[in-house]
Amino acid sequence: MRFNKYLLLLAAFIAAPLTRAADEQELPKAGTLMDRYIEVTGGTALYEKRQSEIATMEMEVVGRGVKGTITRYSDRSNNSYSTGQIEGIGKLEEGVYNGQAWEISAMMGPRLKEGIENADAVRDAMFNSALNWRKLYKAETVGLEKVDGEDCYKLTLTPLGQGKPQSMFLSKKTGLMTKISRTAVTAMGEIAVEVTATEYKPYDGILTPSKLVQSVMGNQIALTVQSIKTNEDIPTQRFEPPAEIKKMMAK
């Protein structure tokens, strides 16, 4: 769940096996599986110690030679700020500030997100979202499915507010997340997004996938974690939007 917040940054700019039948009684409850995920990735106490996070990731559009770097700042205020420089696209900025999501790109200029797009961004910005999933979703275990040959429980996560249901796949063996499938609502319309998570590594004690591959609109976008720093002092000004966004918010 930690990586949900990185998935939509690029989707607006860069344009399986069948589920095995299983009786509902044979499947673990979704809450049990989600709580297991928290424990195997570090445990409640360790998550609760986290006050802030600065994550830096390298991205590459596979097969096209387009590369860039993205840095994201977040803390317990549930505000966030991301910035990146992508070859052939230019500078990207986006954030969530006091419940309002926004972005600036060379392609689309400054804009405020609205409706479901805003709700998704605000939900993704919740700090320690894995620990607080009950505040965000209703979860249901719906079946078993193989992801890259690994047996996984398939969960449907339905937002408690605005938003479309998404599918999460948790390894039956390890309890770790292997894949997320969701429909992103963007300025370009609805876009199907699938992300696989591999190469889990401990960052300040929390197991996190260091490699994400996002499939969107016929492209594969690989995100590789370079660093994750927690409990760094992030000035509140870091989360304030640029002047042109503030003007739009004030209207």
Q: How far apart are CA 125 and CA 122, in angstroms?
A: 5
- For the chain, 251 residues long, the average pLDDT of each consecutive 10-residue run is 50 39 69 97 96 96 90 97 90 96 92 96 95 96 96 98 96 98 90 96 96 93 96 96 96 82
User: Are 111 and 187 a contacting pair, CB within 8 Å?
Assistant: yes
Nearest to 138 by CA among 119, 155, 157, 120: 157
Sign of the dihedral defined by the CA atoms of residues 208, 144, 139, 27, in that order = negative
Token digits of residue 160: 């408690």
Token digits of residue 61: 């559009």
The two beta strands, 206-216 and 189-203, are antiparallel
Instruction: Tell the residue number behind the tokens 């016929």, with chain if given.
Output: 218
Instruction: Report the predicted TM-score, pTM, of the whole model to 2 decimal places.
Output: 0.87
